[in-house]
Amino acid sequence: MLGDTYGRMFRVTTCGESYGGALLIVVDGVPAGLELCDADVQADLDRRRPGTKAIDSPRQETDQVQVVAGVMDGKTTGAPVGMTIYNVDTQPIHVQQYREVKDLMRPGHAEYTYFVKYGEFADWRGAGRASGRETAGRVAAGAVAKKILAREGVEVVAYVKEAAGIAAREMTFEEIKAGVGKNDINCPDFEAAEKMVRRILEIKEAGDTAGGIVEIIARGVPAGLGEPVFDKLDADIAKALMSIGSVKGVEVGTGFAAAKMRGSEHNDIPYMEDGKVKFRTNNAGGILGGISNGDDIVARMAVKPTATISIDQDTVNMPQMKEVKLAAITRRDATICGRIGPVAEAMMAIVLTDHLMMSRGLDAVAKLDKTWPRAEADGQ
């Protein structure tokens, strides 16, 4: 299996499956001297973990992280940071339930594509590597990235903008930041949140699941991050968010709404304030030409309804190539929108940290030109 590492200077590698022994995370490129302990990572993992709300999966994973490498006396050493999260709710009865249907395609899941790619050796326990359990590793790595970004004055917040067809009102960044994590659905519009949860529970009662839209905002990002053409900042953000399971679409700034606007409506008009360039609107989502412009980075992702449902479904037995019936499965999230926010924050933070390091590195090398003897001679 390829593709388990993300980043160029800030590199994140994860491994581990839903019902394996543990999830392992290695973060390379962490600067020495950064204060880091288990608690710094645990806070975000607690926001992601299942089994704490009525709309969550009842799986009881504690998601207790252990920082096992790259830290000495509470500070990073410059070596790769290694972390471990042990799986604890892997009861034999649940493994047996998956064993009984391991040859069947669960609609909306990856059994068929994994069967095509890995054959009989694919891990069928709880979707294996394709499980949402994998995202705990991303959150752990993202917590390290957030620590680095915090030193630069950058903060990243994700919240549910819409769920089960109910949308939150428009809010300021301060309102959003203050309301994140204050209810079961992670929506800072508390009135809308109540309606969302009520509707999701109705859908759950019917045996079904719901999707929604999650918005991610990064504030304090300096201008100049991103490489034109293939490594645009928004292109990397889109890839990072799309790599999260259950995400089926990503937009930056006005996104698809831009298709209905005129240039005069969409252009963000610049102006001067305290000797700095500012923009009167942020339709571009903080990115122009693939490079950050100093405004808020704003992205949204479309999250599909949880594929596991409590309704019988028609499917196919893969080894037999025969149509069969898949019985209802009960252990699942009614929606993953409320728990996916920390994952989205993590991926945004990882991308920004990677680009920050690349930008600072290239800038430092470029400035060396001014010290060359030839440059000094040209200046005489």
Backbone torsions φ then ψ of 212, nearest 5 degrees: 175, -165
Angle between helices 337-367 and 38-48 in degrees, nearest 10 = 140
d(CA 244, CA 128): 15
Parallel, antiparallel, or unpaired: how do β-strands 276-279 and 287-288 relate? unpaired
Write down the domain spans for the chain.
Answer: 5-378
Q: Let me know: does 318 contact 103? Beta carbons within 8 Å.
A: yes
Report the pLDDT value the prediction gives residue 330, as an integer from 0 to 100. 66
Q: Which CATH number fits domain 5-378: 3.40.50.410, 3.60.150.10, 3.40.50.10420, 3.40.50.2020?
A: 3.60.150.10
Task: Extract the tokens encoding 112.
Answer: 């068929």
d(CA 55, CA 58): 9
Q: Is 224 exposed, middle or buried (0-12, 13-18, 19+ CB in 10 A)?
A: middle
Residues in the chain predicted with pLDDT less than 70, given as ranges, are 330, 367-380
Contacts of 132 (CB under 8 A, 6+ apart): 245, 246, 333, 336
Contacts of 249 (CB under 8 A, 6+ apart): 301, 302
DSSP 336: S
Q: What is the pTM of this model?
A: 0.92
Report the pLDDT value the prediction gives residue 374, as an integer from 0 to 100. 43
Q: Is 320 exposed, middle or buried (0-12, 13-18, 19+ CB in 10 A)?
A: exposed
